[in-house]
Amino acid sequence: MKYLLQKHNNKKMFEKAVPILPANNISDTIEFYTCKLGFTGLSFGNYGIVKYKNAEIHIFLADSKKKFEYASWYIFVDNVEDLYADLSAKELIYPKGQLLNKHWGCKEFSITDNNGNVIRLGQKK
């Protein structure tokens, strides 16, 4: 693994990681991220991409609810308290996703998308 993270010919081997999450309906999922969270979105039939600044999510059309059991992703943000207030007002907070200081050095909370995927949003302390 160490080799994979090294530069090759003075070029970065990795630029960024992007989660690929399951969706019941691509159009509905793009609408959720654009209307509720302010992302922009593109649909390619059974695949979609939503973006907000440096955050990007790819979504695929899932054929089974079982694929939704453990999907989640983490976004680092600049002002977690303001974002928490904004998303709380929109009633998007995951039931167990209250804003908390975590022992790993982040203040974070969670929301779920329209497919039940958990999105954790946090700020380093």
* 33 Cβ contact list (under 8 Å, min separation 6): 39, 41, 50, 52, 57, 113
The reported pLDDT for the residue numbered 69 is: 62
Q: Looking at the chain, how many residues does it have?
A: 125
The reported pLDDT for the residue numbered 9 is: 58
In this prediction the pTM is 0.77
Ranges of each domain in the chain: 17-62+71-124
Q: Which CATH architecture has domain 17-62+71-124?
A: Roll (3.10)
The reported pLDDT for the residue numbered 95 is: 81
53 pLDDT higher than 60: yes
CA 16 to chain centre: 14
72 vs 83, which has greater pLDDT?
83
Query: Which pairing describes strands 106-112 and 100-101: parallel, antiparallel, or unpaired?
Result: antiparallel
6 pLDDT higher than 70: no
Mean pLDDT of the chain: 85
pLDDT tens-digit readout, 62-71: 877 655 566 7
The reported pLDDT for the residue numbered 2 is: 47
- Res. 94 pLDDT band, cuts 50 70 90: confident
The reported pLDDT for the residue numbered 68 is: 57
